[in-house]
Structure 1
Amino acid sequence: MKYEYMHPRDELAITLERIYNYKMTTTSGGNLSILDENGDIWITPARIDKGEMTPKDIVCVRKDGTIEGRHPPSSEFPFHKAVYEARPDIRSVVHAHPMALVAFSCAHKVPETKAFPTAWNSNGIVGFAPYGVPGSADLGEKIAEEFKKGYDSVILENHGVCCGGQNLQDAFNRFESLELCAKALIKAAMIGEPTFLSEEQIQMQQKSYYKLEAFDYNTDMMCIKEKELRCELARFVQRGYRQRLLTGATGTFSARIDADSFLITPYPLDRHMIGPEDLVMIRKGKKQIGKKPSRALHAHRAIYEANPDVQCIVNAQPVNALSFSIVNKKVDTYTIPESYVFVGDVALLPFESSFNNYDKLAETLTLKNPAAVLENNGVMVVGKDILSAFDQLEVLECSAEAIIDSQPIGGHIAMSQETIDELCEAFNL
């Protein structure tokens, strides 16, 4: 079911469930709200277990101040109301205590969102609100003042984060991408010096999308292989989200149907709820009518055209591999045998490769060398099928995490070249 068809009660309950299940808040922490067209505010309740909350628990605070529901509204209702009054364009607010953003709030700092495009596009510059007692009018005034300045995401001193949006999913995407950014920056600091996007690079990414001609399409045209790929691709995108290899707003999957056509995820897309029908068919350089394909379309098409044996391509920004991307280092797969056998030598490609150097991208990513770190833009993996590409992405992320986690205990010691030579012989690499 699409969010735009949901009642605020259902949308709030489902979104809070996502936040809680992915450990971005605690049983007692966090609150979400929606301002509807009547001026009524739907908000999560006070003193309710976030792990068990249902749509029936959601509270409505009417425009005249009357309260409807079986519970009192969140104690933070005053700052939700203050944000709506300060910014008429904001129709939803997400407040929670995800660990990495709490770390920034305790350090009295804000994440630099120019670490990678999605963080910048979603949040821009992040505001910082001085401390106020939770639930107080003073806190509401301090947060609202930051939103008045034009910030859409605000770190709350020693408290957490508040994100606003045109709707709940807009606010949630800001919240989720900002937490990913915060996590990646913390991890990146353990392995090197973070680098950030220049204005030229930001403009390059924002101008990367251009329109394709469309072709008439209906379900009667689908062959058995396309139906199979649609279902499999949708399942793996959802799985990638559950595994935290993707966020709701980041990650592109595609799969080849034949020499002239492939399927790709659309733009925009909530990876949590993708279905087979959401995928976009690209055939002979034209797109399925009525759909908008991912911005990564042209990079994927170049790789398919240059490598007939590549059957699946994934762009992703899992937190550990993203950290290597932010410090502009490749992931060393000389860690454990599985890493080298499945992923091989990982390339490091400039940020621009995904936008204006498709030949270099297609030359670098092959089944023999299936993975590359893209500077400040995550990673890219190719595979002989969807399963192998997904597996290689998981192995790459696990390798990155192991290297980062080894830093406090002395750093990782790579396998010797002799060991690598033995692996190459044993596995015919």
Structure 2
Amino acid sequence: MKQLDVKLMHPKVQITKVISRIYKNGMTTTSGGNISIKDENGDIWVTPSAIDKGTLTEKDIICVKKDGTIIGDHTPSSEFPFHKAIYDVRPEIKAVIHAHPPALVSFSIVRNIPNTNIIPQAKEICGSIGYAPYGMPGSEELGAKIAAQFKDSNNMAVIMENHGTVLGGSDMMDAYTRFETLEFCARTIINAKTIGEPVYLTDEQIKSFEVQIPYDIPKNKVVSYPPEERSIRQDICNIVRRACDQGLMISSYGTVSVRWKDNDFLITPPNVARWDIMPDDIVQIKDGKAEPEKTPSRSFSLHQKIYEMNPHINSIILTQPPHLMAYGTTGVKFDVRTIPESWIFLQDVPCLPFGTHFEGDNTIPELLSESVPSVLISNDSFLVTGDKLLQTFDRLEVAEFSAKSLVMGAPLGTLFPINDAQVEALRKKFLG
């Protein structure tokens, strides 16, 4: 399976795949949440009531026919009324996800809506967000309140007062990407507020980000795929999936590239769900040209310059871990002098202004070195480099673990980093 192609997968398969992903990522509980799909016949496929979300199988999924007939071994979700209400008022919506992810629940109980301008891609993915007043779970009243938020605007997501969130999509993957991205925004804002005050992007900055996708780069006419090249493709896919499993990437964002030979490299594409990426999705860049009929990541030119200007770098990961992004959205210094391992792996991490990763800016390629293997880009991402891909991924893990420790430590009291003398001792022993 190349990726989650909703046009080819039965609704039962889509639902079980996505609800499993939601549960394993800690965005719903055994009994909480429900998702549905409306098919071309007008029938609605929905998760059952009171069945363990961690073990759902295709045979557990219920079909509510257009005439109201119920087909399946269980009772439809108790929240089915608001799923149907959304489909009734917004015919273009074909999938609905409702869950209680912790960060979005936090927003629901303080009666607030996350500002998706915290990162550049989120505003377009999430769309406008509504807020539905409290209603009894499973009631027609709640369904009416939620449906009103979808009917009276172009909302594709609604925060439910003291409850959670519900999101719609043109298909299941569209709805899931919106759901995951909105929860990521909420987590980033909460983490940022733990250490400081988040700064948001302007609409103009977001527009400048969107135009960076390199649709017009030249393409090679003849492409070869020797064994070592195919091996790199698989390595990239394995690391991307691992990053998704560990919460270091989300489906809509995260770029990995690996030098193949000389300045030729392989890189992930945009608009492919990261946790379903396959070797055939990876884009080969040879002599500055891409594979035919493929589009590389919007940061393609940045990766190319890094490889050209830094012969010691053979792999790059650019992503948005939620605790690192707390530092990337507040301007608070990310001080890796927490434990010896953190400083040895990362040394000091500069935080650069939004836009320094755009095409034409050489700041990052010129700054990176063996003593500066990574940078934070404000309101965008963490970029980390290395010799081998596993080393680069290890640095990413260490950086996010360090950021998480700092965020968690902030409410406890004054943070005491390793002092200059201790750092110098580490430098002499481990870095020569």
Same fold flag (TM > 0.5): yes
With over 3 angstroms needed to count, the CA separation of the structure-2 counterparts of 1:217 and 1:132, relative to structure 1, is: farther
Identity over aligned residues, as a percent? 43
In the alignment, the residues of structure 2 paired with residue 365 and residue 224 of structure 1 have an alpha-carbon distance, to the nearest angstrom, of: 30
Deviations 1:218-245 (A, max 9, x none): 5xx2223212211111111111111110
Q: Tell me which residue corresponds to 1:214.
A: 219
- Equivalent position to 1:175, from 171, 176, 179: 179
Alignment of 1:68-217 (within 5 A): 68-148=71-151, 149-210=153-214, 211-217=216-222
- Give the secondary-structure state (helix, strand or coil) at the position aligned to 1:351: coil
In the alignment, the residues of structure 2 paired with residue 18 and residue 29 of structure 1 have an alpha-carbon distance, to the nearest angstrom, of: 14
In the alignment, the residues of structure 2 paired with residue 21 and residue 261 of structure 1 have an alpha-carbon distance, to the nearest angstrom, of: 36
User: Higher mean Cα deviation, 83-92 or 102-111?
Assistant: 83-92
The Cα of 1:356 is off from its aligned counterpart by 4.3
Are 2:343 and 1:346 equivalent residues in the alignment?
no
Paired residues of 2:267 and 2:296 also in contact (CA < 8 A):
yes
Paired residues of 2:62 and 2:71 also in contact (CA < 8 A):
yes
Between the two proteins, the alignment pairs up a number of residues equal to: 427
Q: Tell me which residue corresponds to 1:256.
A: 259
In the alignment, the residues of structure 2 paired with residue 290 and residue 329 of structure 1 have an alpha-carbon distance, to the nearest angstrom, of: 42
Paired residues of 1:347 and 1:364 also in contact (CA < 8 A):
no
Paired residues of 2:95 and 2:170 also in contact (CA < 8 A):
yes
Are 2:374 and 1:371 equivalent residues in the alignment?
yes
With over 3 angstroms needed to count, the CA separation of the structure-2 counterparts of 1:299 and 1:329, relative to structure 1, is: farther
- Give the secondary-structure state (helix, strand or coil) at the position aligned to 1:121: helix
In the alignment, the residues of structure 1 paired with residue 332 and residue 368 of structure 2 have an alpha-carbon distance, to the nearest angstrom, of: 17
- Equivalent position to 2:279, from 266, 269, 276: 276
Paired residues of 2:129 and 2:157 also in contact (CA < 8 A):
yes
The Cα of 1:411 is off from its aligned counterpart by 3.3
Alignment of 1:33-48 (within 5 A): 33-48=36-51
Q: Tell me which residue corresponds to 2:401.
A: 398
Paired residues of 1:59 and 1:67 also in contact (CA < 8 A):
yes
Q: Tell me which residue corresponds to 1:3.
A: 4
Paired residues of 1:45 and 1:57 also in contact (CA < 8 A):
yes
Are 2:71 and 1:60 equivalent residues in the alignment?
no
- Give the secondary-structure state (helix, strand or coil) at the position aligned to 1:33: strand
The Cα of 1:151 is off from its aligned counterpart by 1.0
Q: Tell me which residue corresponds to 2:308.
A: 305
Paired residues of 1:249 and 1:268 also in contact (CA < 8 A):
yes
The ranges of structure 1 where at least 4 consecutive aligned residues each deviate by more than 4 angstroms after the TM superposition are: none
In the alignment, the residues of structure 1 paired with residue 127 and residue 352 of structure 2 have an alpha-carbon distance, to the nearest angstrom, of: 25
In the alignment, the residues of structure 1 paired with residue 394 and residue 416 of structure 2 have an alpha-carbon distance, to the nearest angstrom, of: 24
The Cα of 1:363 is off from its aligned counterpart by 1.0
Paired residues of 1:330 and 1:373 also in contact (CA < 8 A):
no
For 1:225, give the aligned amino acid: E
Q: CA RMSD in A?
A: 1.2
Question: Which segments of 5 or more consecutive residues in structure 1 lack a partner in the other structure?
Answer: none
The Cα of 1:373 is off from its aligned counterpart by 0.8
Deviations 1:288-322 (A, max 9, x none): 01212111111111111111221011111011001
For 1:166, give the aligned amino acid: S
Paired residues of 1:331 and 1:399 also in contact (CA < 8 A):
no
In the alignment, the residues of structure 2 paired with residue 6 and residue 217 of structure 1 have an alpha-carbon distance, to the nearest angstrom, of: 33
Paired residues of 1:333 and 1:399 also in contact (CA < 8 A):
yes
For 2:15, give the aligned amino acid: L
Paired residues of 1:329 and 1:373 also in contact (CA < 8 A):
no
Deviations 1:330-354 (A, max 9, x none): 4211111101100111011111111
Paired residues of 1:41 and 1:63 also in contact (CA < 8 A):
yes
With over 3 angstroms needed to count, the CA separation of the structure-2 counterparts of 1:330 and 1:228, relative to structure 1, is: farther
- Give the secondary-structure state (helix, strand or coil) at the position aligned to 1:353: coil
In the alignment, the residues of structure 2 paired with residue 217 and residue 13 of structure 1 have an alpha-carbon distance, to the nearest angstrom, of: 40
In the alignment, the residues of structure 2 paired with residue 121 and residue 298 of structure 1 have an alpha-carbon distance, to the nearest angstrom, of: 23
Deviations 1:256-282 (A, max 9, x none): 101231100011111112122211101
The Cα of 1:217 is off from its aligned counterpart by 4.7
For 1:173, give the aligned amino acid: T
Q: Tell me which residue corresponds to 2:52.
A: 49
